[in-house]
Structure 1
Amino acid sequence: MKNHLILLTSLVATLSGVSPAAAQGSAGSPAAGNADLALKLSNPLAALISLPIQKNVDFGLGADGNGWQSRTNIQPVIPVSIGKDWNLISRTILPVIIQEGVTAPRTDQLGLGDVVQSLFFSPKAPGPGGIIWGAGPVFLLPTATNDALGAQKWGAGPTAVALRQSGPWTVGMLANHLWSFAGKEARQDVSATFMQPFISYTTPKATTIGFNTETTYDWKRDRWVVPLNLTVSQVIPLGGQLVQVGVGGRYYVESPAGGPDWGMRFSFTFLFPKR
């Protein structure tokens, strides 16, 4: 895993200065277009079809602290125009999970986790002060193929995001809350708040450096999970397809007993801009 991190870090660093033409970043150049796409990717409400595949690997789990988990999130983002003033943005998270030593030493699980489906209704034009916002429902779908990989509950609640983009900077906050309303009675009910403040900087070469937290508070168990994430990503052409590749690390400021201590993140996002 360490070798993978070194390779991906080297790849991103290399791609950050891909060519003299990219370094110019002049208006109308491919680099300028890629930088615009990178800036849109920093905006969860951008009218851009994309398919992020995000791999998170966490360490230090389980009673003995020797467990690990690999969670690969498949996250299609599909914006739909609703009249001349509004967009509906669908954001889906489908996790594929591999873990070992999490539920008990020398035990492992492999399968799908629960799907989280968010729908944001967002004005096409920014509001006062350049604020971009969207709100709507979020749903928890019990798609886990193993009891240890999901809540086994149906859930729903509100979600919202607000952000502002000024030059290369993006600053914002995404939040939601999920309550369970059906599912296996023997399983713990769900009442969880998710908060994701984020900030990122995008260079003229389409390199984005981002920092966020992905804080969750479980109201039923009275416990926090607070990871700090630092990432670097780069938009590049791959054949005829534009993609964004990224790598990052995370440190858990707070996690429950048996929770993770630190982790890594790798991402690969397919971009489908309008032509």
Structure 2
Amino acid sequence: MAIPAASWAQADAERLATLAREFTDPLTTLPQLFLQDAYTPENHGTDAQTNRVVGRLIVPRIPRFTLLPFVQLVRPSLFLVTVPTGKGSATRTAFGDMQLFDLFVLPWPTAESGVRVGVGPIFVFPTATNKAAGQEAWQLGPALGAVYKAIPRLLLAGLVQSPIPFAYTSSEHSVRNVVTVQPAVLLQIVGGWYVKSADATWTFGWERGAPTILPLSLGVGHVTVREGWPPINVFASSEWTAYRHNAPTAPEVTVRLGVTVAFPEWRAW
């Protein structure tokens, strides 16, 4: 018996909506390779134009492959950054510090509620190849992710991290303790298209002299699914710093371009 074309179209729309949310969900169990370039033509406190390239893997582990009876999400991130060397236009390009978080998705609230919560550690390794590109400190702290997906086509999420330095590679260290919050709102609109505000990371200093920076972002993306090919997500977004305090140098305007490739067949690993 033939399946009506309308049913196929509805199934495709639902699949695209689900994938759009999976690509932005900080607690996704969809294995992914993420690449992003963030170009900042204007910075507060310097005439330099800066840039950051991010490479990230999202590696979910189902309970039979984890140490605990929870879904485990491992996310290593590598950075290639172009940073200012002073108040002028001169810059230096180097690898930045490596980050790794390891979240465990809690079994409560239940899946029927549309809410999921994950907790675990965040690690920062002092792998920067230049002093200006890293913080010269080993860091470890808590991380918390939360997602709400009970409304079709809509994703509300947030990721909170607080890496705390415990050992330094230089006696001239100047690391400030901060909490970072990455809120995410995504709405799938038509076909594979969606709009989102999910790329800005808020920084809150919780000790004297630590910086506070609050940017806002808005972007658009498209998810493409083709037979025999992995799903691909392409997005572009812009970001503007709405507030800053104790931050002599901070981005003013940033433009991001990114691509994510998913590997659904690896989900069961």
Same fold (TM over 0.5): yes
For 2:50 and 2:7, the matched residues in 1 are separated by: 41
1:215 aligned partner: 202
1:11 aligned partner: none
For 2:64 and 2:10, the matched residues in 1 are separated by: 31
Unaligned runs of 5+ residues in structure 2 are none
For 2:78 and 2:8, the matched residues in 1 are separated by: 36
% of aligned pairs identical? 21
For 1:126 and 1:102, the matched residues in 2 are separated by: 48
Contact 1:62–1:102 (CA under 8 A) maintained in structure 2? no
**How much does 1:251 deviate?**
0.5
Does 2:239 align with 1:257? Answer: no
2:124 aligned partner: 140
Does 2:91 align with 1:108? Answer: yes
Aligned in 2, Cα 1:124/1:38: closer, same or farther, shift over 3 Å?
Answer: farther
For 1:148 and 1:220, the matched residues in 2 are separated by: 22
Does 2:39 align with 1:50? Answer: no
Amino acid at match of 1:79: P
For 1:33 and 1:206, the matched residues in 2 are separated by: 9
Does 2:165 align with 1:171? Answer: no
For 1:24 and 1:215, the matched residues in 2 are separated by: 42
Q: Report 1:120-131 matches (<5 A).
A: 120-123=103-106, 127=110, 129-131=113-115
The normalised TM-score by structure 2 is 0.84
1:119 aligned partner: 102
For 1:79 and 1:33, the matched residues in 2 are separated by: 20
Aligned in 2, Cα 1:237/1:248: closer, same or farther, shift over 3 Å?
Answer: same
The SS at the match of 1:105 is: coil
Aligned in 2, Cα 1:189/1:42: closer, same or farther, shift over 3 Å?
Answer: closer
For 1:154 and 1:204, the matched residues in 2 are separated by: 44
Aligned in 2, Cα 1:26/1:169: closer, same or farther, shift over 3 Å?
Answer: same
Contact 2:193–2:223 (CA under 8 A) maintained in structure 1? yes
The normalised TM-score by structure 1 is 0.83
2:15 aligned partner: 33
Instruction: Report how many residues are paired.
Output: 251
Aligned in 2, Cα 1:76/1:220: closer, same or farther, shift over 3 Å?
Answer: farther
For 1:43 and 1:270, the matched residues in 2 are separated by: 14
**How much does 1:221 deviate?**
2.5
Contact 1:242–1:270 (CA under 8 A) maintained in structure 2? yes
For 2:53 and 2:8, the matched residues in 1 are separated by: 33
Does 2:76 align with 1:59? Answer: no
Aligned in 2, Cα 1:204/1:124: closer, same or farther, shift over 3 Å?
Answer: farther
1:235 aligned partner: 223
> Which segment drifts farther, 131-140 or 83-92?
83-92
The SS at the match of 2:132 is: helix
Aligned in 2, Cα 1:130/1:62: closer, same or farther, shift over 3 Å?
Answer: closer
Amino acid at match of 2:202: T
For 1:70 and 1:61, the matched residues in 2 are separated by: 11
The SS at the match of 2:22 is: helix
Amino acid at match of 1:224: T
Does 2:192 align with 1:203? Answer: no
Aligned in 2, Cα 1:158/1:25: closer, same or farther, shift over 3 Å?
Answer: farther
Unaligned runs of 5+ residues in structure 1 are 1-20
Where in structure 1 do 4 or more consecutive aligned residues deviate above 4 Å? none
**How much does 1:230 deviate?**
0.7
Aligned in 2, Cα 1:109/1:224: closer, same or farther, shift over 3 Å?
Answer: same
Aligned in 2, Cα 1:54/1:263: closer, same or farther, shift over 3 Å?
Answer: same
Does 2:137 align with 1:149? Answer: no
**How much does 1:170 deviate?**
0.8
